[in-house]
Structure 1
């Protein structure tokens, strides 16, 4: 498995805040899905409230 850095922004009340997460995944699609599911389970955010701007291999 490879290390990926996923960056983007999420909606917090009325503003958008940037984020950067490092995850271990098989490919870029799995890494972005993992980040979306983590935001949902840990912070209660729905997928439309999270925008992934870039996924890069670290």
Structure 2
């Protein structure tokens, strides 16, 4: 059974860190600039949301 990450602040922090890493790797991908920027923004938004959830 999968645990709810909202109950574990460490898991939220790890997921936010993973999304930040994915955001940076999206910038270096071999795709168009618009795709790289969109992916970066999507991952950073998820990371910020997870960090806000951790604080709350």
Same fold by TM-score greater than 0.5: no
TM-score, normalised with respect to structure 1: 0.33
Q: Identify the structure with the greater helix proportion.
A: 2
Radius of gyration: which is bigger? Answer: 2
Q: Identify the structure with the greater strand proportion.
A: 1
TM-score, normalised with respect to structure 2: 0.33
